[in-house]
Amino acid sequence: MLVSSELENLIAYYHEKKLAHAYLISTNNVQKCHEVLINVIKNIFCVQEYSDNCNKCSLCHLIDLNNLPSLKVIVPDGSFIKKEQILELKHLFSRDSQYTKDSIYIIENAEKMNKESANTMLKFLEEPEGNVIGFFITNNKDNVMLTIKSRCQIIECDFENTVNEEFNLSESEYQEHLDLLEKYLKNVENNAKESILNNEILRDLEKDDIKKNLQLCLAIYQKELNSRFNSDIIKEERFSFLNNLSINNLKKKVNLLINLLTEMQYNVNVNLLLDKMVLEMEGINNETL
């Protein structure tokens, strides 16, 4: 899967005590890079003889549950990674780890650190407390602040498959669609009338593009639903606002989207169909209040 094996090499560097205190990982697929890096960290921390999907080791189990105190993952809060998130990390790691020899943090989309968070992070990089290892993941290395970049060892980690097979999109196109749907679905979930008034986000697109976005919406809700039954599923953090929806709510919305996509096969007014989706989504939410 990997073009570069640098991530796997980190395991050997760790055991040889040659691991740097911070790495910037430049990749063409942040999600896949995160998944591989988590496996590397599990390999490092595992108290058994590590194998894929280790189910014997308590530390690997805690990592799967995202509940290991000595491993912290930071993702953008909205459009940026904020200063408060870095301060929380510093506070968390100010004490010695009771679980593992080292503490590890991962910052996804590191290019989204704003000036305040980057400056706070810089102090943490210059004066690390205890045994702390950091990984910054980015798909836009040039936009990572130079002061951060200069204090990290850089790893290039590209994946062979840069096309989203299910939707026939390049990775950059896929991320653009997700950026658009994040805004749209937040409006749908939080304020149906507002989203109807502002659904030019989708309204101005061609019918085929609207269909593709609705297919992605379906995939997003299906993934959220499936995650309730399988903790191994890694979801897009940007859609964390779906976390509070009930299983019944999610099932109804999945069925709604399937029905809307079926209707799109016929000669329908697509804009009215979008309004219908928003109103029915609101109705489903009201049923569960």
Q: Is the pLDDT of residue 254 over 80?
A: yes
Determine, yes or no, domain membership for 245: yes
Residue 233 in tokens: 């599923």
Q: Is the pLDDT of residue 211 over 60?
A: yes
Give the pLDDT score at 162. 44
- Same domain for 109 and 246, yes or no, is no
Q: Which residue has the higher pLDDT, 253 or 199?
A: 253
Residue pLDDT, tens place only, 58-76 = 777 788 777 888 899 898 8
Most confident of the following: 92-96, 172-176, 195-199, 238-242: 238-242
Average pLDDT over residues 181-185: 88
Domain stops at, among 161, 194, 220 = 161
The residue behind tokens 């709510």 is 249
Q: What is the CATH number of the domain that holds 283?
A: 1.20.272
Q: Is the pLDDT of residue 51 over 70?
A: no
Q: What is the CATH number of the domain that holds 64?
A: 3.40.50.300
Give the pLDDT score at 190. 83
Average pLDDT over residues 220-243: 83
Cα-Cα-Cα-Cα dihedral sign, residues 125, 126, 130, 133: positive
- Same domain for 192 and 125, yes or no, is no
Letter string b/e over residues 68-92, b meaning 16 or more CB atoms within 10 A of that residue's CB: bebbbbbbbeeeebbbebbeebbee
Q: Is the pLDDT of residue 117 over 90?
A: yes
Give the pLDDT score at 47. 64
**How many beta carbons lie within 10 A of that of residue 4, not counting itself?**
15
Determine, yes or no, domain membership for 188: yes
Number of separate domains in the chain: 2
pTM of the model: 0.57
Q: Is the pLDDT of residue 113 over 50?
A: yes
Average pLDDT over residues 264-285: 85
d(CA 271, CA 195): 12
- Same domain for 97 and 203, yes or no, is no
Residue pLDDT, tens place only, 132-178 = 899 999 988 888 999 999 999 999 887 764 445 566 777 778 888 88
- Same domain for 77 and 194, yes or no, is no
For the chain, the 3-state helix, strand and coil shares in percent, each to the nearest 5, are 55, 15, 35
- Same domain for 56 and 150, yes or no, is yes
- Same domain for 88 and 147, yes or no, is yes
- Same domain for 187 and 260, yes or no, is yes
The residue behind tokens 């280790």 is 54
Give the pLDDT score at 177. 85
Determine, yes or no, domain membership for 1: no
- Same domain for 56 and 22, yes or no, is yes
d(CA 153, CA 25): 8
Domain of 266, in residue numbers: 164-287
Domain stops at, among 161, 176, 194 = 161
Q: Is the pLDDT of residue 96 over 80?
A: no
Tell me the pLDDT of the chain averaged across its residues: 82
- Same domain for 143 and 202, yes or no, is no
Domain stops at, among 161, 176, 210 = 161
Q: How confident is the model at residue 98 (pLDDT cuts 50, 70, 90)?
A: low
Q: Which residues contact 272 (CB under 8 A, 6 or more apart)?
A: none
